[in-house]
Structure 1
Amino acid sequence: MILKSEEDISKLIREDKWMMDILKCTRKLSLPDWWICAGFVRSKVWDVLHNVKKRTEIPDIDVIYYNPANIEENEEKKLEKVLNSLYPAIPWSVKNQARMHIVNTVSPYSSSVDAISKFPETATALGVKLDREDNVVLVAPHGITDLVNLKVKPTPNFYFSKARMQIYETRVRRKNWKSIWKGIVVTDVGVNR
């Protein structure tokens, strides 16, 4: 399958019942500025581009939202419990991006999309959600070119910081995506800055 556009990726997700069920389940929470991020989209695209027939298992489903009115971590845990009650077979991870700047020791994010733009890799800086009419809405602050061309490289937020590049490099080594998807090309690992 050839994936060239955001619409191609949205169609791919629309045609995947499992993904749509997860999106519909998450939408039930009515969270402000919510998205399902990262590996949920990336892994699906890379599986398709590698002709993987059985879905590659992902460690968690990353649900993010933005609510500066309540940045208590226990609120995120409550939401995970609600999602677990709705869809128990899923490893849910819920994070309020209005709080995550504290965890990541960076400047506050202005929205969930702002937070997504500052994820470590361009191919992972993705989010998807459903609107009220079940249309798939995809956000890709750095575009989809790296994703569909199987390139793993740091977002500018990481590339221009020596300390953050060390985090990127450690993360890429730990994830070891190339052992799962042979066609990907990882850049900027081991670069002395």
Structure 2
Amino acid sequence: MTEQEAQQQISEWLQADHFRMQVLRTVQTLGLPECYVAAGFLRNLVWDQLHQKASSELNDIDILYFNTVHSEDEKYAEHILLQQFPTVSWDVKNQARMHLKHQHTPYASCAEAMSCWPEKETAVGVRLGSDQRCEFIAPWGLSFLFDCCITWNTKRPLSLFQQRVESKQWLARWPRLTLRMNND
């Protein structure tokens, strides 16, 4: 599958998902710079579709943005999101500050920050553009999501990757998934 085909397919699945579209519209109103809904929001959608499952419940929704000027907008954004979706657990993170948590050099963008996430299939995000079309961010692209793999990002410790795979029970939830320990 080409990258363009992957984007088209995921866009169609998102358009058909009323809840996810409502989340995207609400996040768009926050006006945060370089803001995306990321991680399981997209990854789970693709894996559910590939496993012909109903949309799985999201234990949280990750919102990321990049702002070096106003670095403390997380609480404001979470407050607004909780007003709209009171039963959802929100995880809003300014990627301009996340290098501190991981003891990395400062990131220049959301994409650079995402390139340091423990598994590559989680490093995917989407937002609505001004034309209301889906715009994606994914350091390794989106097409590999269709490979049914969980790929270790060697920028992070293998033990962290293994712990996440086990604790999140991805292999049990999506039994066609396989682990990919190399970067091929």
Q: Same fold (TM over 0.5)?
A: yes
- Cα distance in 1, alignment partners of residues 99 and 91 from structure 2: 17
Give the corresponding residue for 1:26: 27
Asked whether the 8 Å contact 1:62–1:93 carries over to 2, the reply is: yes
How many residue pairs match? The answer is 179
1:146 deviates by 3.0
1:92 deviates by 1.2
Runs of 4+ in 1 over 4 A off after TM superposition: none
Q: Deviations over 1:9-43 (max 9, x none)?
A: 12211221111100000011000000010000000
- Cα distance in 1, alignment partners of residues 105 and 159 from structure 2: 19
Structural mapping, 1:101-180, within 5 Å: 101-158=99-156, 164-180=157-173
Q: TM-score, normalised by structure 2?
A: 0.90
1:58 deviates by 1.6
Identity of aligned residues (%): 33
Q: TM-score, normalised by structure 1?
A: 0.86
- Cα distance in 1, alignment partners of residues 95 and 53 from structure 2: 32
- Cα distance in 1, alignment partners of residues 34 and 79 from structure 2: 20
Q: Deviations over 1:153-191 (max 9, x none)?
A: 122423xxxxx22222222221120111110001339xx
2:22 counterpart SS class: helix
The runs of 5 or more residues in structure 1 that have no matched partner are: 159-163
* 1:60 and 2:60 aligned: yes
Deviates more, 1:30-39 or 1:164-173: 164-173
